[in-house]
Chains A and B, each alone.
Chain A
Amino acid sequence: MAEMWINMGPQHPMTHGLWNLRIKVDGETIVDAEPEVGYLHRGIEKICENRTYTQVIPISDRLCYGSSMSWSHLYCLTVEDLMGIEVPERAEYIRVAVLEMQRIASHLMWLAAYAADLGAMIGFIYTMRDREIWIDLLQALTGSRITYNYPRIGGVAHDLPANWDRDALRACDYMDKKLKEYEDLFDGSKVFMMRNEGVGILKKEDALNLGVTGPPLRASGVKYDLRKDQPYSVYPEIDFQPCYHTDRDCYARYKVRMDEMAMSCHIIRQAIKKMPKGKWRVVAPRNGPVGTGLGRVEDPRGEGMMYLVGDGTDRPYRLKIRSPIFVTVSAAPKMLIGYKVADVVAIMGGLDMCIGETDR
C-alpha cells in the first residue's frame, strides 16, 4: 500500500497557531509524524537584549498570548531573583489571584477551540460567553483584554479598583455553576466521549523522558504540580490539591483541565480573603547586578522557565525562555502513531498549543 506525506498547515482550521504537521499515512492510519514550527519566530530573545528590564515586560506578554499574565509574571520573578528584591505581600496575593483568573480564561479559550474542532460548536459559544466575564474583570484591573502589561519588577503596576474583589467572588460562584453545566454538556455527549476515550495514549515513562509537563503529564498519572512541589510567590499559604488523572488519553487531559478550573476558583477565593493591606510595589533599581537569575512557574500549559544573565547595565545580557509547548510538540509523534487521521484533531487539540511561545 502506498504511503504518502500529508501537510496539515500552516493554514489549517485545526492548527491553533501557525505550524505545520507533516503526517505519513498508510491509507487512513498514521505511520509517522513530524511537526514543523518556526513560522512565528520573531527573535524575542535578541530583541530583549536591546531593551531595558522594564521595557521587556510588554514583550514577554506577547510570548503566549493565550495566557500572557503568567509570562510577564515569570519574567518579573526572574528579574527579582537576579536583583534580590523582596516583593510586598499584598502584591503577591494580587498576583496569585490574577494568575488564577488568567488560568481559567486560558483553559476556557482552549475548551472553546477544542469543542469547535470536534464539531460541538455549542461548546465554543458557551465558553466564549463565560470567558468574557473573566476578561472583563482583568480589563477593569489592567485596562486591556489580552496583553496586560500589569506585573512590574517589584510588585504590580497599580492597586485594585473599587469593588473588584466583590465582583471576583461573584464570578467564582457563577463559574462553579457553569462548570457543572459543561460537565453535563460534554460528558453526556456520546460523540465527544467516543472521540476522546482511548485516543492518543501517552505512557508515563514516555511523558517523563520526553519532557512533557503540565496537564498532559498529570493526565498520564504523574502527580506533579510546580505550585505545590516547588512553590513560588505565596502559594505555600494557599490550600489546594494538584489535579491528576490516570487514564493517559485525551479524555484525561480534558478532565484535568476542567478540574484545574474548579481548583482555580477555590484559590481565587482564598487569595482574596487573605489579602492584606499595604504597599503593592517596591521600586526596583535601574541597573541589574552581574549574575544569573532563574524563574520557574506552572504555566497553564506546563513548566515555564526563564534564565537571565545580567551584566551590570540596565539591559539583560541574555534571556533564555523555556516554553512548555515547544517540548510537548516534539513528543507529538509518540501520541499520533497508530491512530487515524481524524484523531489528529483530538490529540493535537488536547495539548493546548500556543505557537507564540514555541517560536518565540
Chain B
Amino acid sequence: MVARQKRTMTGEIEEAPRRVDGQPEESVIRHLLDMFPSTLTDFKKVRDGLLRAKIERRDLYKACKTLRDILGFEHLSMISAVEYDDRFEIVYHITSYSKGLLVELITTTPKDDPSVDSISSIWGGANWQERESFDLMGIKFNGHPKLERILLPKDYVYFPLRKDFKGGG
C-alpha cells in the first residue's frame, strides 16, 4: 500500500526503532539524576513515554545540552510560559525520536525577574518559540540572537498574556 519511491542520490533511510517498555525511561531518569543531583527535583513517569521533572534555571542550559548530545533527544517540541500568583513557569517539551520519549522540563523564575538562558544555540527550533514567549508573556531569554517582538506590532508596549493585562479576551 506504500507508494513507490524514487531511487536517487542519498538513499539513507532513518528508521525509528520501537520502544522496549520500561528501559528507556529508567536510563534517562538515572542519567539525569546522576548529573544534577541537587537541582533536578520532582522526577516522575506520568505515563508510558512521558516524563516530568523540575529543574532550577541555572542548570537548564547544561541539562538541555546533555539531553541533546548524550541522551539523544533530537527535537524540541514546545516552549510554554505560564504565570502563576507567585512565579513564572517555563515548560520545555523535548522529544526523542529514537527512544520514543517526551520529557517535560519545568523551570521556575521569580515574579520580578522573569529570565532564563536561551537554548536556541542547542536547538534552532527554539528561536521563534522563545521570541513568542517574550512577545506575549515578557520572559527574557539571555543570549538569544534576536529577541524582538514577532506576533504583535514592533512598537507595542504591553505583554498581553499576563494576568494583569485586562484588555481583550
Q: Do A and B bind each other?
A: yes
List residues of chain A with CB under 8 Å of any chain B CB: 37-38, 41, 43, 45-50, 204, 206, 208-213, 221-224, 229-230, 240-241, 243-248, 251, 255, 258-259, 262-263, 266, 294, 296, 303, 305, 307, 309, 317-318, 320, 322, 326-327, 329-331, 359-360
Contact A229 B74 (CB under 8 A): no
Task: Tell me which of A258, A262, A296, A360 has the highest count of chain B C-beta atoms within 10 A of its own C-beta.
Answer: A296
Question: Which residues from B are CB-within-8-Å of A245?
Answer: 5-6
Contact A46 B169 (CB under 8 A): yes
Question: Which residues from B are CB-within-8-Å of A255?
Answer: 3, 5-6
Question: Which residues from B are CB-within-8-Å of A41?
Answer: 151-152
Known contacts A37-B151, A50-B169, A248-B10; is-contact A330 B127 (Cβ 8 Å): yes
A329 to B125, CA, bound (A): 10
Please, how many residues of chain B have a CB less than 8 angstroms from a CB on the other chain?
A: 50
Contact B74 A38 (CB under 8 A): no
Residue of A nearest to B91 (CB): A307
Contact B100 A246 (CB under 8 A): no
Known contacts A221-B10, A230-B102; is-contact A45 B49 (Cβ 8 Å): no
Known contacts A223-B14, A246-B10; is-contact A258 B3 (Cβ 8 Å): yes
Contact A305 B77 (CB under 8 A): yes
Of B13, B82, B102, B125, the contact of A209 (CB 8 Å cutoff) = B125
Contact B136 A208 (CB under 8 A): no
B157 proximal to A (CB < 8 A)? no
Binary CB contact string for chain B from 66 to 81 against chain A (1 if under 8 A, 0 otherwise): 0000000011111011
Contact A211 B76 (CB under 8 A): yes
B150 proximal to A (CB < 8 A)? yes
B8 proximal to A (CB < 8 A)? yes
Known contacts A222-B14, A241-B1, A307-B93; is-contact A326 B78 (Cβ 8 Å): no
A210 to B13, CA, bound (A): 19
Residue of A nearest to B1 (CB): A266
Of A208, A213, A223, A320, the contact of B80 (CB 8 Å cutoff) = A320
Of A213, A223, A251, the contact of B13 (CB 8 Å cutoff) = A223
A89 to B82, CA, bound (A): 34
Question: Which residues from A are CB-within-8-Å of B16?
Answer: 222-224, 229
Known contacts A41-B152, A211-B76, A327-B125; is-contact A49 B2 (Cβ 8 Å): no
B129 proximal to A (CB < 8 A)? yes
Binary CB contact string for chain B from 7 to 29 against chain A (1 if under 8 A, 0 otherwise): 01111111110000000000000
The DSSP consensus for interface residues of chain B is loop
B123 proximal to A (CB < 8 A)? yes
A43 to B13, CA, bound (A): 40
A355 to B31, CA, bound (A): 40
Contact B97 A222 (CB under 8 A): yes
Distance from B16 Cβ to chain A, minimum over Cβ atoms (Å): 5
Contact A247 B9 (CB under 8 A): yes
Contact A210 B125 (CB under 8 A): yes
A360 to B100, CA, bound (A): 28
B138 proximal to A (CB < 8 A)? no
A330 to B161, CA, bound (A): 23
Known contacts A246-B12, A307-B93; is-contact A209 B77 (Cβ 8 Å): no
Distance from A118 Cβ to chain B, minimum over Cβ atoms (Å): 19
Seed contacts A46-B165, A213-B75; 20 additional CB < 8 Å A-B pairs: A50-B169, A210-B123, A230-B100, A247-B9, A248-B10, A255-B3, A255-B5, A263-B1, A296-B77, A305-B77, A307-B80, A309-B82, A317-B82, A318-B83, A326-B132, A327-B125, A329-B128, A330-B124, A330-B125, A330-B128
B147 proximal to A (CB < 8 A)? no
Question: Which residues from B are CB-within-8-Å of A251?
Answer: 6
Known contacts A211-B124, A246-B5; is-contact A221 B12 (Cβ 8 Å): yes
Question: Which residues from B are CB-within-8-Å of A305?
Answer: 77-78, 93
Of B91, B126, B152, B161, the contact of A45 (CB 8 Å cutoff) = B161
Distance from B79 Cβ to chain A, minimum over Cβ atoms (Å): 9
Distance from B95 Cβ to chain A, minimum over Cβ atoms (Å): 8
Question: Which residues from A are CB-within-8-Å of B127?
Answer: 330
Question: Which residues from A are CB-within-8-Å of B12?
Answer: 221, 246
Task: Tell me which of B3, B15, B49, B50 has the highest count of chain A C-beta atoms within 10 A of its own C-beta.
Answer: B3
Question: Which residues from A are CB-within-8-Å of B114?
Answer: none
Known contacts A246-B13, A247-B8, A330-B127; is-contact A318 B82 (Cβ 8 Å): yes
